[in-house]
Structures are given as structure tokens and as C-alpha cells.
């Protein structure tokens, strides 16, 4: 049987995602990026993964002044614009979509939401990597009657953390499915559970969790892959 193709937005840790998603040998991955000018490849894709990476430019949620106010330098407007095109296509075609870290943030902005440009500047505890370069880990509480709760089969868990931006206002049609003890949104999904495609956004990095058998990594991947199997493309 021919493998289905998954489009993965090209970020800094592409190999981590490739290894995680192709471990079961069910799908082929193609990198999607403005550098390659290969938007047309998405027409061959049965699903999309939005990877981590740079901050989302605040101009896309109508707060351009945040760049100077919070000294934001890790920005790539061309990537933002390219991935908004990817999101538009995926949403229109009902492609299964998984957003990870920055992927959650750009998707929230695409649907009209906003971000906190620097978590600690708003009086919240750090969610960035530890000084030695390792991910932080912290608990998350899951919302009942959500896809994420259904996938993981639990109400509480522990996830890794390596980000300094987060969701502020939730985008249209999206709902929170996980929250950290300090009140930050850790996951989003479509409010309408009858939507025809898998759609899950997580702030953590399931592709590199210390425990790959965690339901916050393994179960997410398996549900995503099962949604691809069911996709007729």
C-alpha cells in the first residue's frame, strides 16, 4: 500500500519530528517552507503538522508595538505568512492538522486569537528551557469533554515546556483543552466536535518527551495517524 504524505512545516528541529512521525513506517513526510517555495506540495498531503520555531510576529494579531516593547528578535514574517496559507488550505480541505508549540500559536492567530509576547513580562513563571538546555516539565490539567481528554484518557499529566510566548485570547471556534497550574493555555482544539477532521494544538513537544510512551506523546501520534488512515486522498 502506498504511504500517505504528511506536510511538515520546516523548522529548526525537523529531524525530531520526522523520526517521531515516521517511526511506525506509515507515512512519508515532505517539508513545507517558504524557502523552498513549495506551497503546491500541500495538494499531495493527507495531513499537516505545524512545527515549533520562531515567535509569531505580533503584527499578525494587530499588536506590532510588541516587537519593540518586549524586545522580540526571533521573528520570521515570511514563515508566518506561508504557514497562514497552509492553515487556510488545510482548514478549507478539512485536512487532519497537528500544531506543536509555535504551531499552536500561529494557528491561534490564524483564527483571530492573540498571544502574550513574553510570558514572564506578564508576571507568569518561566516556561522556557532550563539553563542547561533541557526542556522544563510541569503538570497540565485537561478539560472534560474534549478531544485531548479522550485521546489521553486522563485528567492530569506532565508535559515538557520550551516557550516564552503563549495564547492570550483564544481564536474563533477554538476552545482550551489543557491548562498549566499557573493558568496558561497548554492546548487548543475546535469547539465543534462534529468537525470532519482531526484538529489538535499543543504547547508542548510530544516528539521529544523524555517518556515517548506518555499518552501526551504516543496517544497523540497514534490518534493523528489513525485520522490519516481514514483520510481518502
Q: Supply the DSSP string of 86-105, one letter for each residue.
A: HHHHHHHTT--EEEETHHHH
Higher pLDDT, 192 or 188: 188
The CA distances from residue 143 to 74, 127, 140, 150, 161, in Å, are: 32, 21, 10, 10, 19
- pLDDT at position 11 is 76
Is the Cα dihedral 215, 180, 134, 199 positive or negative? positive
User: What is the tens place of the pLDDT at every residue in 140-187?
Assistant: 999 999 999 999 999 999 999 999 999 999 999 999 999 999 999 999
Q: Stretch 2-30: mean pLDDT, rounded?
A: 90
Q: Which of 45, 54, 57, 101 is catalytic?
A: 101
Q: Which helix (H) or strand (E) holds 138?
A: strand 136-142
Q: In the annotation, is 101 catalytic?
A: yes
Does residue 213 carry a pLDDT above 70? yes
Task: Calculate Rg over the CA atoms of the chain.
Answer: 16
Q: Helix or strand or coil: residue 3?
A: coil
Q: In the annotation, is 163 catalytic?
A: no
- pLDDT at position 191 is 92
Q: Helix or strand or coil: residue 161?
A: strand
Neighbours of 223 (CB within 10 A): 19
Q: How far is the C-alpha of 217 from the C-alpha of 127, rounded, in Å?
A: 19
β-partners of residue 157 are 140
Domains and CATH numbers, the chain: 4-229 (3.40.50.880)
Q: Supply the DSSP string of 170-200, one letter for each residue.
A: PPTTEEEEEE-TTS-EEEEEES-TT-SS-EE
Query: In percent, how much of the chain has pLDDT > 70?
Result: 97
- pLDDT at position 232 is 62
- pLDDT at position 130 is 80
Neighbours of 224 (CB within 10 A): 21
User: What is the tens place of the pLDDT at every residue in 92-127?
Assistant: 999 999 999 999 999 999 999 999 999 999 888 878
Does residue 14 carry a pLDDT above 90? no
- pLDDT at position 195 is 63
Nearest to 117 by CA among 152, 68, 174, 77: 68
CA angle 112, 42, 111 (to 5 degrees): 5
Amino acid at each position: 500500500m502506498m504511504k500517505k504524505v504528511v506536510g511538515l512545516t520546516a523548522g529548526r528541529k525537523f529531524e525530531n519530528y520526522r523520526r517521531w512521525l515516521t517511526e511506525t513506517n506509515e507515512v512519508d513526510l515532505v517539508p513545507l517552507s517558504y524557502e523552498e517555495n513549495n506551497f503546491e506540495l500541500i495538494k499531495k498531503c493527507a495531513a499537516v503538522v505545524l512545527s515549533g520555531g520562531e515567535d509569531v510576529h505580533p503584527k499578525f494579531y494587530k499588536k506590532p508595538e510588541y516587537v519593540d516593547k518586549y524586545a522580540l528578535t526571533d521573528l520570521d514574517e515570511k514563515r508566518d505568512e506561508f504557514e497562514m496559507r497552509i492553515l487556510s488550505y488545510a482548514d478549507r480541505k478539512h485536512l487532519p492538522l497537528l500544531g506543536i508549540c509555535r504551531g499552536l500559536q500561529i494557528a491561534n492567530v490564524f483564527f483571530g486569537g492573540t498571544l502574550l509576547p513574553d510570558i514572564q513580562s506578564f508576571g507568569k513563571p518561566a516556561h522556557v528551557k532550563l539553563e542547561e538546555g533541557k526542556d522544563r516539565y510541569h503538570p497540565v490539567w485537561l478539560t472534560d469533554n474534549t478531544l485531548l481528554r479522550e485521546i489521553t484518557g486522563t485528567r492530569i499529566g506532565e508535559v515538557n515546556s520550551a516557550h516564552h510566548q503563549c495564547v492570550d485570547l483564544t481564536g474563533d471556534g477554538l476552545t482550551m483543552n489543557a491548562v498549566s497550574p499557573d493558568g496558561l493555555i497548554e492546548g487548543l482544539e475546535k469547539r465543534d466536535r462534529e468537525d470532519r477532521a482531526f484538529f489538535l494544538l499543543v504547547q508542548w513537544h510530544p516528539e521529544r518527551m523524555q517518556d515517548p510512551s506518555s499518552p501526551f506523546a504516543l496517544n497523540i501520534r497514534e490518534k493523528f495517524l489513525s485520522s490519516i488512515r481514514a483520510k481518502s486522498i
